[in-house]
Amino acid sequence: MNRKTETARIDIYARITDRIVADLEHGVRPWVKPWSARNMTGRVSRPLRHNGEAYTGLNVLLLWSESVACGFTSATWMTLRQANELGAHVRKGETGATVVYASRFTKTETDAGGAEIERDIPFLKAYTVFNCDQIEGLPDHYYSAPEAIARPLERIRHADRFFDNTGAVVRYGGNQAYYSPPTDHIQLPEPAQFRDVASFIAIRAHETLHWTSAAHRLNRDLSRYHKDRRERAFEEMLVELGAAMICADLGIVPELEPRPDHAAYIQTWAAILGSDKRAIFQAAAHAQRAVAYLHGLQPQAASDHEAA
């Protein structure tokens, strides 16, 4: 990789990280903002590609934040080329949002001994997308109102089934919510102790994301969780990201205010991201992996796998 390419990649990391740090320094968790945005009241989903597929990982956070900042009502985004292929055009003067694509490629090199070796080289590419609210001339279905969301009780039952299907053991009682690695169980206060059911589901999502860390699941190392403040803050950040994605997938509007313990993390998160421009990318990747793992435990996912 030449120096110009490396510099461009570092710039992508820095540009995105600095934007998120700026939000955190103002006491705002950008992955929570969509839930309180007026233009998204009543229905919140992950951002969608032009073909209806949901964005994943860090791009969810980036496009949520852009939607809130610009007041967009559409959840769908596309590139200029995709819009043009649909016979549409981006309005003059509109500014696009940055999303990223991360992958790897294999390069064959010759080592000092003359032998050929293969190197696995990661790369990051940034590109620009526009919200459908910025585009004119799209087919009508891109502008149609979103489908009506399920009634509150139906969404709650759906969320309960989702978490029950994971097989995570949940014990109720006390005034604390946590995941216990030694006993591999989730401890939650009684549902009636929460201010509303949506808050209960948000906390259950959060602790279930911690549950995915076990060695026989996704094997995230939490050995220093109680010893190292930065390690603990990083785990909490990735779990918050994942819980926000899960709640969006379930159609649940979670808590609008930070939990007291998580409010204390905001300053540490800003410090972590400020000193490591790749940290938010790593956290989002871990969060996406955990969310995918939980979706993979659902009966429908198993049926789809067998059918394939």
pLDDT on residue 15 = 87
Biggest distance spanned by C-alpha atoms of the chain = 69
Return the higher-pLDDT residue of 254 and 162.
162
pLDDT (tens digit per residue) in 168-213: 999 999 999 999 999 999 999 999 998 888 889 989 999 999 999 9
pLDDT (tens digit per residue) in 17-55: 998 898 888 877 878 765 555 545 446 688 999 999 999
pLDDT on residue 23 = 84
pLDDT on residue 305 = 44
H/E stretch holding 72: none
Q: Which two tokens stand for residue 69?
A: 């900042």
pLDDT on residue 88 = 97
Least confident interval from 4-18, 129-143, 216-230, 281-295? 4-18
pLDDT on residue 159 = 92
- In the predicted model, what is the mean pLDDT of the chain? 84
**CA–CA distance, 260 with 113 (Å, rounded to integer):** 58
Number of C-beta neighbours around residue 134 at 10 A = 20
pLDDT on residue 12 = 85
pLDDT on residue 304 = 52
pLDDT on residue 145 = 63
**CA–CA distance, 87 with 138 (Å, rounded to integer):** 7
**CA–CA distance, 3 with 303 (Å, rounded to integer):** 48
pLDDT on residue 34 = 59
% of the chain exceeding 70 in pLDDT:
83
Q: Is the distance from CB of 262 to CB of 236 less than 8 angstroms?
A: yes
pLDDT on residue 308 = 36
pLDDT on residue 211 = 98
Whole-model pTM: value is: 0.83
pLDDT on residue 45 = 81
Q: How confident is the model at residue 1 (pLDDT cuts 50, 70, 90)?
A: very low
Per-residue burial over 220-249, b if 16 or more Cβ lie within 10 Å, else e, is: bebeebeeeeebbbbbbbbbbbbbbbbbbb
pLDDT at 116 over 60: yes
Return the higher-pLDDT residue of 247 and 115.
247
**CA–CA distance, 61 with 46 (Å, rounded to integer):** 9
**CA–CA distance, 217 with 206 (Å, rounded to integer):** 16
